Structure 1
């Protein structure tokens, strides 16, 4: 369904992305808020994100961004004293987002079935909501970590296994509560928010043109996608025009980030299934890949390479040849490893049929990215809403219908080959010219959105500029918000020892979505 078909009042076109995607903002009343959500759902629309905001007047508003046929629809509705209409009845993935909105701003979803805290673990001051401009209760600290009311499963032989939040490996904290009979999982419930760093509060003290540095540190494995989404939002707000060469270099960086993560995941998946040879080989390939990143762009993980107006570093012609040669070699070696993986009966026995995520469950939770594409749900912003330069360098979407670990492994292999093809195409047609343009600040507040297909899925940024080159509000969204609840369903019926493998096949973000 196209955005214009909603016939919304007070609708403003925010930007027109190069390609066939636009962004619109509409301020609506609570009834229109719910009616639009239902219409979007019925017509195949997808909820991208939900967040709240305190306006300069001291009033509050709730926002939602939808992916529709021709782009993004950003809805904003005023919040009354009693709260705002519950969106989780239409889009279940909104439940945790609404809980985070309450913790951050004190805005409650009226009638929501789940109103438990999400980011507040009981260690914040009482009545404290960090994104409120005048939050009360700063001196009345709570006594400590509260007992979180996990949903219990009763029955003969049912018991609980608590895992985390501290894990054996050096990874981010997260708690997983399993309800099991023997080793069979009946239910999994997740608890996050331990790695909340107050990113959205930090943006309020960050200059507009320097916010890309903070965005690029939301998730170290997604620094390119987050910084590009942030810069896109700034550029749309300031009506900036980016040099073609910079757009092509941004895509080159994004595809290199995608491949680096897929190489690491494929090795880890082999290791989790007892195939250490896979970990050794893919670790070697990833390390080679990162070293070329450092040589060509000055940073192994490509941090701070994308800046407002373009990119911070051009590529030297001698490194173009080096990258092309590396792509050919990596393509060959990965194809050899794929045949090895497919020929290992023990490996395939662990992969096939494990952690099945059905297309119906994927649709229910608005699952996106790689996980969705491995469950017959074909969504990719580069394809559905191509932004420069993907409208000139089309992406061939990789998908699988099986929905299990094997499917998610197969999609990773396929996306490596496709990203290598894209990199070769981008290098062969790289335009000449500048790599950055100066952006002119606006005197009045302006809004912008950025929407990028990261390696996990679509990364979204919505911001509003303030006076004197400041940020009034910046909201960043990681695709893991949609995909974590789906993991709880994918594990049902599997055995507990298969959880690390299934979890790794999703490989979702912890700190990156607890903003």
Structure 2
């Protein structure tokens, strides 16, 4: 990555808010004060083209700093920047009134750092369920809590009206899935309100990352959300490489993209079958599951791991593709094309299945815009963003592919976006295999070994990356300490921006349609809970 120096409307604005941090790459980070932060809030309130794509905090000797990542979606350049507000008094003005996507992110900041978001529209705890044994674990001085005291009941939002009843679901579910609690308020079978409570698989990832060598931190990130292990690993690696100004070997760039498309392919094939199964049409799941299995087995044969976990590392990739891998993947693509198209025709021609997915679980474009939703959720609701194209990163800038976009915003649209992305991934895999450069001579063909034993870098450096996962855009921000270890890392999974939209999608639908809506959004519990 290189520094973004283009003059855009977003950058012009931020130059008026405060000075630019010198060691932040590839996009600028500006440090502002409360006046500048309130100016930012005003800009977000009146300008729909400014998207909030991340919000996190970190602590240093001066107190807690809150960072907001922004993208100008009207400039056509994919301009990205970060605004930082130091909070020496432990308080900052909330963004939640103008960007509802900030609500859960600010609740998490309050839980983890103990700072107060002034004016937060929903100040309840989010990740902290009262079971940690301490409060504010990422603050300079966490506060111990009494483990023997039962945590207070979680205050569910009230919903009043004649004939309403509540249906609690989870956190333990009937299937082998991650835990999350869903509280339905319904009138008969019609859902009036859905409220989610997540955080049950909080692992303390951000605390685990602090002080870790880069190689160890990469292994932690790879386990944040197993179905996106490649995408999260690429995002972390790109952030580290941006911070340190590293250029990785060309073959490693292409191998990363190959792994990412295999990961995208496997997940979309599984999701399409699972959505149909939730509509009681098990036929598609039965036929798509072997296709997903074929992708996983090919990944294992090519890279030594079905999920390709730990295959992407800062500086490059750990394994090269097996000698027989390229031919195997070309055969896989041909086989999937032959077997996938008839299954798409079955989905498209089954009236009883279409009856369950058409006009079900609609997420309107305006709401998707307010949450800056990406992936199949955003693209099914008219948002055409894709980090592979904008801001873009290699090798996708040299590859030909389309980003499918629909406007209906229902379950059916989210299925069709997945179908079209399967087709695009098959084409991308072919292009990558045929154009991927060979391995240069010497031991450093795909991974420069010195990076895994990172020496002192002399001063703190910061890097950020935006990478497209199968769910959508991952944002990873990292600060490398002077001794070469990770001082702070924040990995923002797309699920943070998409889980809240499920609450809107199910409203007005029947309870029996919740599995369809839920699977069509398919938020990650683990990736969200950190």
Q: 1:185 aligns with which of 175, 185, 191?
A: 191
- 2:31 aligned with 1:27, yes or no? yes
- 2:335 aligned with 1:329, yes or no? yes
Q: 1:61 aligns with which of 61, 65, 69?
A: 65
Between the aligned partners of 1:431 and 1:13, the Cα distance in structure 2 is 34
CA deviation string 1:217-267 (max 9, x = no partner): 000000001111001111111111111111111011111100000011011
CA deviation string 1:453-501 (max 9, x = no partner): 1010111111111232211111110111111111101101100011001
In structure 2, the CA distance between the partners of 1:291 and 1:332, relative to structure 1 (3 Å rule), is same
Alpha-carbon distance, 1:13 to partner: 6.3
Q: 2:19 aligns with which of 5, 10, 33?
A: 10
Q: 1:498 aligns with which of 494, 500, 513?
A: 513
Comparing 356-365 with 187-196, greater Cα deviation is found at: 356-365
Comparing 434-443 with 179-188, greater Cα deviation is found at: 434-443
Alpha-carbon distance, 1:210 to partner: 2.4
Structure 2 residue matching 1:391: 3-state secondary structure = helix
Between the aligned partners of 1:202 and 1:225, the Cα distance in structure 2 is 20
Q: Which residue of 2 aligns with 1:155?
A: 161
Kindly indicate whether the alpha-carbon contact (under 8 Å) linking 1:95 and 1:114 is maintained by their aligned counterparts in 2. yes
Q: Which residue of 1 aligns with 2:139?
A: 132
Between the aligned partners of 2:171 and 2:148, the Cα distance in structure 1 is 21
Between the aligned partners of 1:82 and 1:44, the Cα distance in structure 2 is 30
Structure 1 residue matching 2:324: 3-state secondary structure = helix
Comparing 30-39 with 60-69, greater Cα deviation is found at: 30-39
1:167-206 counterparts in 2 under 5 A?
167-206=173-212
Between the aligned partners of 1:10 and 1:256, the Cα distance in structure 2 is 42
Kindly indicate whether the alpha-carbon contact (under 8 Å) linking 1:460 and 1:478 is maintained by their aligned counterparts in 2. yes
Q: Which residue of 1 aligns with 2:467?
A: 452
- 2:79 aligned with 1:71, yes or no? yes
Kindly indicate whether the alpha-carbon contact (under 8 Å) linking 2:165 and 2:186 is maintained by their aligned counterparts in 1. yes
In structure 2, the CA distance between the partners of 1:224 and 1:35, relative to structure 1 (3 Å rule), is same
Q: Which residue of 1 aligns with 2:56?
A: 51
CA deviation string 1:104-156 (max 9, x = no partner): 00011011121000011122346x211013213x2533622421111121111
1:35-434 counterparts in 2 under 5 A?
35-39=39-43, 42=47, 44-55=49-60, 57-68=61-72, 69-81=77-89, 83-125=91-133, 128-136=135-143, 138=144, 140-141=146-147, 143-432=149-438, 433=440, 434=445
In structure 2, the CA distance between the partners of 1:142 and 1:131, relative to structure 1 (3 Å rule), is farther
In structure 2, the CA distance between the partners of 1:229 and 1:14, relative to structure 1 (3 Å rule), is farther
Between the aligned partners of 1:87 and 1:81, the Cα distance in structure 2 is 18
Alpha-carbon distance, 1:43 to partner: 5.4
Between the aligned partners of 2:182 and 2:78, the Cα distance in structure 1 is 38
Structure 1 residue matching 2:319: 3-state secondary structure = coil
Between the aligned partners of 1:214 and 1:149, the Cα distance in structure 2 is 33
Structure 1 residue matching 2:110: 3-state secondary structure = helix
Q: Which segments of 5 or more consecutive residues in structure 1 lack a partner in the other structure?
A: 17-21
Structure 2 residue matching 1:178: 3-state secondary structure = strand
Between the aligned partners of 2:62 and 2:222, the Cα distance in structure 1 is 30
In structure 2, the CA distance between the partners of 1:2 and 1:422, relative to structure 1 (3 Å rule), is farther
Comparing 408-417 with 32-41, greater Cα deviation is found at: 32-41
Kindly indicate whether the alpha-carbon contact (under 8 Å) linking 2:24 and 2:462 is maintained by their aligned counterparts in 1. no
In structure 2, the CA distance between the partners of 1:83 and 1:336, relative to structure 1 (3 Å rule), is same
Q: Which segments of 5 or more consecutive residues in structure 2 lack a partner in the other structure?
A: 1-7
Structure 2 residue matching 1:172: 3-state secondary structure = coil
Between the aligned partners of 2:323 and 2:385, the Cα distance in structure 1 is 35
Alpha-carbon distance, 1:58 to partner: 4.4
Structure 2 residue matching 1:459: 3-state secondary structure = strand
Comparing 140-149 with 315-324, greater Cα deviation is found at: 140-149
Between the aligned partners of 2:506 and 2:19, the Cα distance in structure 1 is 44
Between the aligned partners of 1:362 and 1:388, the Cα distance in structure 2 is 27
Q: TM-score, normalised by structure 1?
A: 0.95
Alpha-carbon distance, 1:15 to partner: 6.6
In structure 2, the CA distance between the partners of 1:106 and 1:368, relative to structure 1 (3 Å rule), is same
Q: Which residue of 2 aligns with 1:19?
A: none
CA deviation string 1:67-104 (max 9, x = no partner): 23443211111114251011111211000000000110
Comparing 465-474 with 235-244, greater Cα deviation is found at: 465-474
Computed over aligned residues only, the root mean square deviation of the Cα atoms, in angstroms, reads 1.6
Kindly indicate whether the alpha-carbon contact (under 8 Å) linking 1:216 and 1:227 is maintained by their aligned counterparts in 2. yes
Structure 2 residue matching 1:11: 3-state secondary structure = coil
